[in-house]
Amino acid sequence: MNRLLTTIAVAAATALSAATAAAAEYPSKTIEVVTHAGAGGGTDVTTRMMMLRARRELGGDMVVVNKRGGGGVVAMDYYLTQPADGYSILTFTIGHAAELAKGKTKMTLGDVRPIARGTDDPQILMVRCGEFRDANAFVAAQKGSPLTYGTTHLGNIDDVSAFMFAKKGGLQTPRIVPFEGGGELATQLVAGAVDVAVLNLAEAGSQIEAGDVCPIVVLADQRMSALSDVSTAKELGIPVSFSTVRGFVVHADTPDDVARKIEESLLKSMNHTVYQGFLTSVGLDSTSVAGSDVWGAQLETMVGDMQAALKELGFIE
């Protein structure tokens, strides 16, 4: 029995020593950061801004690997083929949560381990300035007849946000018109092609600054610091909260010490003034950045909420 206990103790000590050594040597080669977005997209830019300081914090090189297609499905399925050694990190967004909820990818939430959140960018309902007196008038206008909502997705966060806002508010079901991107949608809102646009703050920044587009309802639990005079849906009695979130995950089987080192380095990089300046430039603040505990809980909630919403709206059975 003593010999068995000794063997177990030696094995445990050896495993611990190996894990510690792995973390001490990490990184010894280039780290891939996998995204589903093309160069210049919001997810791509967020990833690259995180990497500016993370390279220094980790003491190694990092490169972006773009795997486009399927709203994140291609990136997730590719990521599953990579070793669980910390040398590949996946940028995870609300779009990935939607594809997980729809069962479009081989990945499950249990396949990944949360590391850190980089942005928490609330969905905003925007209208042409002067079209509605205030948020209450905007809601009242939809009690009797539907408005036309412009989105940049179908079966994803944008149209889910519009449908759930109407459903929870007892409003008429909106007519949805999809567009290729946020910039085009903001332009078409000004032109009168739609009554409402579901956008993030940065997507309509120039039109808002010009006084052509006005945010009228923020779909968040609390008001945004950059839009302190704009009501939240919950303040209007409509319990809807949706955000475009971007964060980072690794394989669930990544060694603990390596995962912790990645988390510490990414948090330091995103709390640096360089990344914080980026957040300010897109209308966000330091509350966007969060560690694995907050990010992990949000991932669970996000996938569950998306699944419930998509099922309720008939996108999945």
Greater pLDDT, 251 or 305: 251
Mean of the pLDDT values across residues 35-47? 85
Distance CA(151)–CA(177), nearest Å, equals 6
pTM of the predicted protein model: 0.80
Residues 66/38, Cβ–Cβ less than 8 Å: yes
Confidence tier at 244 by pLDDT (50, 70, 90)? confident
pLDDT tens, 121-177? 999 999 999 999 999 999 999 999 999 999 987 778 898 999 999 999 999 999 999
Mean pLDDT of the chain: 90
Distance CA(239)–CA(216), nearest Å, equals 16
**pLDDT of amino acid 16:** 46
**pLDDT of amino acid 7:** 52
**pLDDT of amino acid 290:** 97
Mean of the pLDDT values across residues 32-42? 86
Distance CA(133)–CA(75), nearest Å, equals 44
Calculate what percentage of the chain has a pLDDT beyond 90. 69
Q: What is the dihedral of CA 125, 129, 131, 134, to 10 degrees?
A: 70
Residues 37/66, Cβ–Cβ less than 8 Å: yes
Which residue segments constitute the domains of the chain, with CATH numbers given?
29-120+243-312 (3.40.190.150), 122-236 (3.40.190.10)
pLDDT tens, 50-108? 999 999 999 999 999 999 988 899 999 999 999 999 999 999 999 899 999 889 999 99
**pLDDT of amino acid 248:** 98
Confidence tier at 310 by pLDDT (50, 70, 90)? confident
Q: Is the predicted pLDDT of residue 305 greater than 60, yes or no? A: yes
**pLDDT of amino acid 46:** 92
Report the sign of the C-alpha dihedral through residues 161, 162, 167, 168, in that order: positive
Distance CA(278)–CA(48), nearest Å, equals 11
